[in-house]
Amino acid sequence: MTPIGPKAYIHIDRLKQNLWNIRRHIGDRKLVCVVKANAYGHGALEISKALSNESGIIFAVFAFEEAIELRDNGIDNAILIFSRLQPELILKASKLNFILNVCTMADLKALSDFQIKTGTCPTFHLKFDTGMTRLGFDVSEAHTVFTFIINNHLNPEGIYSHFSTADEGNLSYAEIQLEQFNEIIEKGKNKGINFKYVHCSNSGAILNLPNAYFNMIRVGMLLYGVSPSDEVPMDISLEPVMSFCGTIVNIRKVPAGTQVSYGGVFITEKETNIVVVQAGFADGFPRPWYEKGFVGYKGQTYKIAGRVCMDQFMVDFGNLEPKEGEEVLLFGKKDGNEIAVESIAREINTTTYVLLTAIHGRTERVVV
């Protein structure tokens, strides 16, 4: 049976080129490739397998289960887990070479207890909250944290924080975060703690805040060839790693005045070919895009006709009559068509992160 559902073509050559271009930009800093949320919809296994042999790559995921999935599938690289540490998983983390996120005194206590009991300790990085107000020690806890570490002979491999506005035009808040982070590191140093890795940068900071590079960088969106926001200058050459496509499953010639899709908000102006594409909002094709949206086919674009349905949507092909089984480009860059996911995000007032991570479920990933 030929699959006719949506397909996400994953261009590995572009992924690697993006990686090299990012590396050229950031110098020889250690790189953490963020593959959480199924590598932003690109397929965590596909992406990790393609990058695992590049020199010195660490992967980052959010959930423990995501890290297990990578290990179970032969990915040997160190894996940083962003989510809250679960004490019952410390042993497993230690055996599987995961890097744990330590962000409360309870986490530190759990690690210390584990170390006393077993004589070993998994690798961990301390996370400080400098303004995101999410996970992380408070800035004011720095003294207590470092004292506990010294008194209990713990050895954090790294220390990090996360920007909330690094991809914005106005960087004043990010600068304050950076200042606070620098002060924390200084306090650690004054107490004699040497962190092997210090990291704060995400994609926005890579483009916007070279002062925040330290010696390790966490990169997600740029790796996938997509800009984190419209406000940052894109001075790294990147290409979209995903081409999201849908299959034409039906073509019907209809007269002028024909209503198309729910609500009948699209009415044909003349006789035209209405093409049914098998991909809908349940597949991550964004419903609000129908108002201005289009698809790519053989180098041309054709307007979406009416509201995107759960599993399908329609396109007005005019006089042209494509064939069933042919594909249209929904976003990405393939076969002479290019539709930037950034432009869709802009048009429907969402973010590229939301659009890409919505690609899941029935979509088949095809590595090319």
Ligand X SMILES: Cc1ncc(COP(=O)(O)O)c(C=O)c1O
Q: Which two tokens stand for residue 251?
A: 């073509």
d(CA 204, CA 195): 24
Cβ proximity to ligand X, 142 vs 166, nearer residue: 166
Nearest to 356 by CA among 335, 336, 340, 338: 340
Binding segment for ligand X among 9-17, 202-210, 244-252, 300-308 (CB under 6 A)?
202-210
* Closest to ligand X by CB, 67 or 304: 67
Site string for ligand X, 320-339 (x = CB under 6 A): --------------------
Closest CA to 261 of 275, 244, 271, 242: 275
202 interacts with ligand X by CB under 6 A: yes
Span of 21-29, 146-154, 220-228, 240-248 interacting with ligand X by CB under 6 A: 220-228
Q: What tokens appear for 61 in the block? A: 């995921």
Residue 197 lies near ligand X (rule: CB under 6 A): no
Nearer to ligand X, 308 or 344 (CB): 344
Taking the complex as a whole, the smallest distance from the CB of residue 96 to ligand X amounts, in Å, to: 20
Active centre residues (catalytic): 36, 262
Are the CB atoms for 242 and 356 separated by under 8 Å?
Answer: yes
220 sits near ligand X (criterion: CB under 6 A): yes
CA-to-CA distance for 93 and 68, rounded, in angstroms? 9
- Tokens at residue 69, please? 């999935």
Q: Which residue is nearest to ligand X (CB)?
A: 220
Segment lying near ligand X (by CB under 6 A), choices 197-205, 283-291, 301-309, 319-327: 197-205
User: By the 8 A CB rule, do 164 and 138 touch?
Assistant: no
Close Cβ partners of 11 (under 8 Å, ≥ 6 residues apart): 239, 240, 241, 242, 243, 368
Q: Footprint of ligand X on residues 12-31 (CB under 6 A)?
A: none
Among 11, 23, 42, 218, which residue interacts with ligand X (rule: CB under 6 A)?
A: 218
Task: Give the 3-state secondary structure of residue 59.
Answer: strand
What does the per-residue mask of binding to ligand X show for 30-69, with x meaning CB under 6 A? ----x-----------------------------------
- Residue-wise burial string across 270-309, b where 16 or more C-beta atoms lie within 10 A, e elsewhere: eebbbbbbbbbbbbbbbbebbeebbbbbeeeebbbbbbbb
Q: Closest separation between CB of residue 187 and ligand X, Å?
A: 21
- Kindly identify the residues of this chain, within the stretch 149-168, that bind ligand X according to CB under 6 A: 162
82 binds ligand X (CB under 6 A): yes
What secondary structure does DSSP assign to 214-243, as a single string? TTEEEESGGGGT--S-TTS---S----SEE
70 binds ligand X (CB under 6 A): no
Give the span between the Cα atoms of 64 and 220, in whole angstroms: 18
The smaller minimum CB distance to ligand X, of residues 248 and 345, is found at 345
Binds ligand X by CB under 6 A, chosen from 6, 136, 228, 246 = 228
Stretch of residues binding ligand X (CB under 6 A), selected from 89-97, 107-115, 215-223, 243-251: 215-223
Residues lying near ligand X in the complex (CB under 6 A) are found at: 34, 82, 162, 202-204, 218-221, 228
